[in-house]
A and B are shown apart, each in its own frame.
Chain A
């Protein structure tokens, strides 16, 4: 149980284009999903917290107009990187919280999306 998927696993795009990344909880309902970014040899940095049916909460320094988050259902959240630039190249990871079944409120992570902007 507690499986989280992400699609695509890898994407290469040209500078100026937009890229959408999907995060799905496959066997549980996730009222809250989180989006992280990880640069090489660095830790995970929380970008935003996504709650189903409401606006995402962005961390300080993360541009909400550039990183659009939509949490339209209890099993799907999407992150759209708009007008991507080479400095946006990174490993993007989502996680989902299984509050109902897991008293520890553990976050389970998706497999990540490697974004490369040329």
Chain B
């Protein structure tokens, strides 16, 4: 089975940097994904890590440490539109590569 933990809510101000952490305990591991989900909409893919280290994509970066079962999503130069829920998801080793999602971190960006 999989257990994925992330903070429920975070707040930050426009222009700031915020780090959203995710820890996982899994029976298998084949990659970690971060998705952004605005209220009432489907998740959109942000990043993917399968090896240890940092992946950078514009204002968003994601880090993975497999030995620690830990990842974080780093958002720089925050904008109001970044207010959303951020979902951490782990892929197991099953043949169909199913994803198990954390409950999501609701980020509120204020002026």
Inter-chain CA distance A98–B97, complex, in Å, is: 12
How many interface contacts (CB-CB < 8 Å) are there between A and B?
Answer: 51
CB of B48 within 8 Å of the partner chain: yes
Are B42 and A109 closer than 8 Å at their CB atoms? yes
Q: Which residues of chain A come closer than 8 Å to B41, judged between CB atoms?
A: 111-112
Interface size, chain A (Cβ < 8 Å): 24
Interface size, chain B (Cβ < 8 Å): 22
CB of B33 within 8 Å of the partner chain: yes
Q: Which residues of chain B come closer than 8 Å to A104, judged between CB atoms?
A: 31, 48, 50
User: Whose C-beta in chain A lies nearest to the C-beta of B102?
Assistant: A43
Give A20 Cβ to nearest chain B Cβ, in Å: 19
Inter-chain CA distance A111–B43, complex, in Å, is: 8
Inter-chain CA distance A44–B35, complex, in Å, is: 11
Q: Which residues of chain A come closer than 8 Å to B97, judged between CB atoms?
A: 32, 97, 105
Chain A interface residues (CB < 8 Å from chain B): 6, 32, 34, 42-46, 49, 51, 57, 91, 93, 97, 104-112, 114
